[in-house]
């Protein structure tokens, strides 16, 4: 991966302009339903001090007076960028990825229960929610977006987790949501004709 450097006081990172706050890095790339690059002006208005943007078919507006870098295939790089920003949380956590057509939820929760029994504080990321087993937070997708996933892993690390048991959906893999996560263990449950 090519290294890029932005010298700016970055306090947070977001690919959703609604989540931008003062001193954010805005990561703008075409998504499944909308193009984040269409929201660059809004992100700057909300306090983004820098923008990384996907260069494919897009021209930077010179009126946008913030530091910026064009990055090819940014959607695939977003997880790596977020991992760097959050100090590579998956390298400190013992990270388990559970994939397959069926059984991801059950296996990831069984693993979390087993590690908790062994006094290894374990967080879960998946269909039934994200967090610690006693306090799961609802989630929209089995696998969060790449920036949200790295932020979530960093939050669990700060909450003294030592293990994360994560459902790894085929959609999440296909869309690059897991890019930047360094797994210690991969569990493959099964493969049926229903798979993506």
Q: Per the structure, how many domains does the chain have? A: 2
In a domain, residue 34? The reply is yes
Residue 4 pLDDT exceeds 80: no
Task: Give pTM, 2 decimals.
Answer: 0.91
Residue 72 has pLDDT above 80, yes or no: yes
Asked if residue 25 belongs to a domain, the reply is yes
Cβ proximity of 24 and 81 under 8 Å? no
Provide the token pair at 56. 């494919």
User: What would the pLDDT profile of 76-122 be if each residue is shown by its tens digit?
Assistant: 999 999 999 999 999 999 999 999 999 999 999 999 999 999 999 99
Q: What is the mean pLDDT of residues 45-58?
A: 97
Q: pLDDT class for 5, splitting at 50, 70, 90?
A: confident
Q: Give me the mean pLDDT over the 161-174 stretch.
A: 95
Residue 178 CB burial class (10 angstroms; 0-12, 13-18, ≥19): buried
- The answer to whether position 7 is within a domain reads no
Range of the domain at 18: 12-72
Does the pLDDT of residue 2 top 70, yes or no?
Answer: no
**Whole-number Cα distances in Å, 178 to 78, 130, 146, 192:** 10, 15, 6, 22
What was the pLDDT predicted at 32?
A: 83
Identify the pLDDT of residue 21: 96
Judgement on whether residues 95 and 171 belong to the same structural domain of the protein: yes
Q: Which of 72, 99, 116 lies at the terminal end of a domain, its last residue?
A: 72
Q: Which of 45, 72, 99 is the last residue of a domain?
A: 72
What pLDDT, in 10s, does the model give residues 110-160? Answer: 999 999 999 999 999 999 999 999 999 999 889 999 999 999 999 999 999
Quick one: 102 and 34 in the same domain?
Answer: no
CATH of the domain at 173: 3.40.1190.10
DSSP sequence for 104-151? HHHHHHHHHHHHHHTT--EEEEETTEEEEGGGPBP-SSSS--HHHHHH
DSSP code of 27? E
pLDDT at 1: 57
In a domain, 77, yes or no: no
Pair (107, 177) in one structural domain: yes
- The CATH number linked to 35 is 3.40.1390.10
Are residues 94 and 165 both part of a single domain? yes
Q: Is residue 78 part of a domain?
A: no
């Amino acid at each position: 991966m090519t290294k890029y450097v932005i010298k700016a006081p970055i306090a947070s990172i977001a690919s959703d302009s609604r989540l931008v706050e003062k001193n954010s890095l805005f990561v703008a790339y075409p998504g499944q339903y909308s193009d984040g690059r269409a929201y660059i002006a809004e992100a700057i208005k909300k306090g983004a001090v820098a923008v990384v943007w996907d260069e494919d078919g897009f021209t930077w507006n010179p009126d946008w007076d913030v530091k910026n870098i064009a990055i090819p295939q940014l959607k695939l790089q977003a997880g790596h960028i977020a991992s760097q920003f959050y100090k590579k949380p998956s390298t400190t956590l013992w990270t388990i990825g559970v994939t397959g057509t069926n059984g991801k939820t059950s296996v990831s929760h069984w693993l979390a229960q087993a590690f908790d029994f062994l006094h290894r504080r374990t967080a879960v990321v998946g269909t039934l929610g994200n967090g610690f087993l006693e306090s799961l937070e609802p989630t929209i997708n089995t696998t969060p977006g790449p920036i949200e996933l790295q932020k979530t892993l960093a939050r669990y690390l700060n909450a003294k987790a030592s293990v994360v048991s994560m459902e790894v959906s085929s959609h999440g893999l296909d869309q690059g949501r897991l890019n930047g996560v360094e797994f210690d263990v991969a569990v493959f449950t099964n493969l049926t004709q229903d798979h993506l």
